Structure 1
Amino acid sequence: MAVTIYFATNRKVVKGGEDAEIGEAFHPDNIDELRFGKVAFAGKDLFKKDLADFMDKAKISLAPERLDKDDAARSKLGSAAVFDAVREDMLKKGDALIFVHGYDHTFREAAGRAAQLQQWLAGGGKDMTLLLFSWPSAGAGVGRRTYADDRRRAEASGAALGRAILKATDFIRNTPRAERCDGRIHLLCHSMGNWAIRGAVQAMRTFVGDNIPPLLDEVILTAADEDDDTVQARHKIAPLLRGCRRLTVYYNHQDLALKASDYAMGNPDRLGRSGPRRKADLSDKVAVINVAPKIIWESKGANAWAADPTGHQYFRNNARVRQDMVEVLNGKLDEEFLEKKERRVNDIGSYWRLT
């Protein structure tokens, strides 16, 4: 069994072609320069394995690209080739998911996480085409210096991610109606990947103002290493609400990685640890899910935390969270969750707890 992940990246291409290698530095010409391709992994249930067991066996293929400065119509774009392949996959599978990874990931690690996520969700009943946006995290380990460096890299990569979203929107607009698929496109950002989507939103605003193109159906911000007012602040992520049908925040107040971001790094309260700062002015498009009861309070035994020792990776390894995410990605309305109170309890308004 194999899984194929499509990607866009502003990382430096170390080696191109069918046996490509992608590095940890920015693209040498421009930080918002994009290259596209795909990564293939062999094996099933990769989410049950350590990344080290399979990521080095990945087959990375860079989409060929040839730019004609004199006649743009004669250019061969890697983005067009990948988007067309995604379209073909979506005709078979239905929906697609854009995934933006977090802190401390090499390209191969990010691609491996994307493959794990794809198979994890497919195992829960949501088999989707997966597109990875990989920003140039250094993958140099965890520490104050590497954190600050990666955060700068994520923020600077917003322009590239914004370009990728706008290019995808243009591709769909220029595709004849008879050739389009009817699948939905979703977005999932984990940890510091939420910092990159903030940069993407603000970069897109320089081109389209607040009219962010409505490309996305469900947006999921999980374990977000972002300020707790970001979904309400116009200069942060709030304009993304114009470009999606619904935005769901998953948070865990015992997330040790975000505790470190709070205290050691001197950041404001993190969205992924406390949820949005103010309830009064929260958009009706936003749903907030407290996952702590299923991750912390019911943990028992000496090995209870073995699968997620920091409480930060639940989006890809906690079965109850996956169940909720699959229902969200399938478009289940908030009021429909009230019909099965054993799964989710309504705290107040758009605030929920997993049970």
Structure 2
Amino acid sequence: MGDLSTQHSGDNMYLITNRVIKKGKGLSVFGKTPSPFGPNELRAIEVSKKGTGWSAASVDDKLSVEEVERLKSKYHLNIDTSKDWYGSLTVACNLFDQARTQGKSILFFVHGYNNDVGDVLKTAEEIEKLYNVIVVPFTWPANGGGAISGTASYLSDKSDARASSGAINRFVGKISYYHALLTEAALAEIRSKVDAKYHDNANPMAAASLYSELVSKSCVVKINLLCHSMGNYLLKHSLMTSDNATSELVFDNICLVAADTNNENHAHWVQSLDVRKRVYIVINEDDSALKASRIKPGKQQQARLGHYLKKLNSDNAVYIDVTEAEAVDSEHSYFKGSSVNKNTKLKGIFNQMFNGESVEKDLEYISSINCYRLI
């Protein structure tokens, strides 16, 4: 990991990436190309604010037996300590513990086109402050192709997004595994408390009632996914692989915002997403970035899902039109910035969405286009 610091800060954020990691300081360690070990190679990096910039700390690759035993004991994990375990286990335990003790949801965030790591962290920080969630960004090599610009830059990022589809599958697979592991541990601890009180099984109804009550109070962690702009294109291509984790029941809500992917036939891949609550697709017809996106590659580019109110036909998606909502205007990132700062109802919708709640009950349904509308 080059010159990365090994000192971890208490005020931090975890970032998952398939970018190359170079020698350097701060965010300069993040390269603009995929890992030399292949685009599916994932690294977890802990970043923390250092003055006006960021410091980056390596998450240890392989954990010592002592550390694995400590984590097993602290979090009551059903794991074999004789096997190899890696830093991702520490990351998962820390995130889960933080979410439970602070009563927060975890929001995994996949960014869009032409975002360097500084842009991603700035957005993640703002989301955390706006919605009181823990944000874990997945950052892929979306830098517009370096020196090139315009259509070539856009197409370069689309190519990187397709190449990163395997990495996003590995990322979601790890989320699923660790969430199940830590949730199982929490529920086993609750079960042991119930069994201790009703050890003779003389009152199974009372035992079941106590178990349900304790589970409700334990604040089982909600995890949600936000894909913005070209991040949706990456998600779409991750579903086209033969071995994908993104179609499994992992998230409470999946939020597809300002999706820079084709509207045509989107139901084919959206319907393969499985969630505990909702798949939300948020649309702004006046989105200037998506209008520009549509014309960049010429006639080959079709209407974008995030700015088109026709053919909204996925059986498992909830479509939300925010075009006429106050302060949305032609914005592309209307889940942050002036749009939500000026429109408390819009902010409330995203707050519920990013915290694993349903939102459509507060919106007007337009049956002719199969879409809810915020005005």
Fold shared, TM-score > 0.5 on shorter chain: yes
Contact 2:226 2:354 in 1 (8 A): no
Structure 1 counterpart of 2:347, which letter? R
Cα deviation for residue 328 of structure 1 reads: 2.8
Two-structure CA RMSD over aligned residues (Å):
3.0
SS at match of 1:105: coil
Contact 1:98 1:185 in 2 (8 A): yes
Partner of 2:278: 246
Cα deviation for residue 322 of structure 1 reads: 2.0
Contact 1:188 1:219 in 2 (8 A): yes
Cα deviation for residue 74 of structure 1 reads: 4.7
Partner of 1:120: 130
Counterpart CA distance in 2 for 1:73 and 1:287 is: 46
Partner of 2:96: 87
The reply on whether 1:311 has 2:331 as its aligned counterpart is yes
Counterpart CA distance in 2 for 1:102 and 1:32 is: 18
SS at match of 2:348: helix
Q: Choose the corresponding residue for 1:202, options 215, 234, 240.
A: 240
Contact 2:107 2:354 in 1 (8 A): no
Q: CA offsets, 1:75-113, max 9 Å, x none?
A: 341221211111111112331000001111112221222
Q: Choose the corresponding residue for 1:287, options 315, 318, 332.
A: 318
Gaps of 5+ in 2: 1-9, 65-79, 188-218
Structure 2 counterpart of 1:253, which letter? E
Partner of 1:36: 44
Structure 1 residues 28, 291: closer, same or farther in 2, change over 3 A? same
Q: Choose the corresponding residue for 2:108, options 98, 102, 106.
A: 98
SS at match of 1:61: strand
Structure 1 residues 293, 335: closer, same or farther in 2, change over 3 A? closer
Counterpart CA distance in 2 for 1:249 and 1:256 is: 17
Counterpart CA distance in 2 for 1:171 and 1:100 is: 19
SS at match of 1:269: coil
Counterpart CA distance in 1 for 2:357 and 2:85 is: 40
Structure 2 counterpart of 1:323, which letter? G
Contact 1:37 1:82 in 2 (8 A): no
Structure 2 counterpart of 1:222, which letter? V
Q: Choose the corresponding residue for 2:34, options 11, 16, 26.
A: 26
Q: How does 1:1-355 map to 2 (within 5 A)?
A: 4-15=12-23, 21-41=29-49, 54=52, 57-66=53-62, 74-92=83-101, 93-121=103-131, 127-139=132-144, 140=146, 142-175=149-182, 177-179=184-186, 182-203=220-241, 205-206=242-243, 212-229=247-264, 231-233=266-268, 236-240=269-273, 242-266=274-298, 267-275=301-309, 277-279=310-312, 281-283=313-315, 285-294=316-325, 310-317=330-337, 318-319=339-340, 320=343, 321-333=346-358, 336-337=361-362, 344-348=363-367, 350-355=370-375
Cα deviation for residue 22 of structure 1 reads: 1.5
Partner of 1:50: none
Cα deviation for residue 226 of structure 1 reads: 0.7
Counterpart CA distance in 2 for 1:128 and 1:16 is: 30
Cα deviation for residue 273 of structure 1 reads: 0.7
Counterpart CA distance in 1 for 2:359 and 2:348 is: 14
Structure 2 counterpart of 1:353, which letter? R
Aligned residues: 309
Contact 1:104 1:150 in 2 (8 A): yes
SS at match of 1:206: coil
SS at match of 1:224: coil
Contact 1:101 1:189 in 2 (8 A): yes
Structure 1 residues 195, 244: closer, same or farther in 2, change over 3 A? farther
Cα deviation for residue 174 of structure 1 reads: 3.2
Q: CA offsets, 1:176-227, max 9 Å, x none?
A: 7233760110000110111111122233x4257xx93211011111111011
Contact 2:105 2:356 in 1 (8 A): no
Percent identical residues: 25
Task: Point out the structure with max Rg over C-alpha.
Answer: 2
Structure 1 residues 73, 261: closer, same or farther in 2, change over 3 A? farther
Contact 2:183 2:220 in 1 (8 A): no
Structure 1 residues 264, 30: closer, same or farther in 2, change over 3 A? closer
Structure 1 counterpart of 2:14, which letter? Y
Gaps of 5+ in 1: 44-53, 122-126, 300-309, 338-343
Q: CA offsets, 1:25-73, max 9 Å, x none?
A: 1000111000012222379xxxxxxxxxx4xx012222111399xx995
SS at match of 2:324: helix
Cα deviation for residue 263 of structure 1 reads: 1.8
SS at match of 2:107: strand
Counterpart CA distance in 1 for 2:136 and 2:271 is: 23
Contact 1:67 1:75 in 2 (8 A): yes
Structure 1 length-normalised TM: 0.78
Counterpart CA distance in 1 for 2:63 and 2:84 is: 5
Cα deviation for residue 332 of structure 1 reads: 4.6
Counterpart CA distance in 2 for 1:230 and 1:82 is: 37
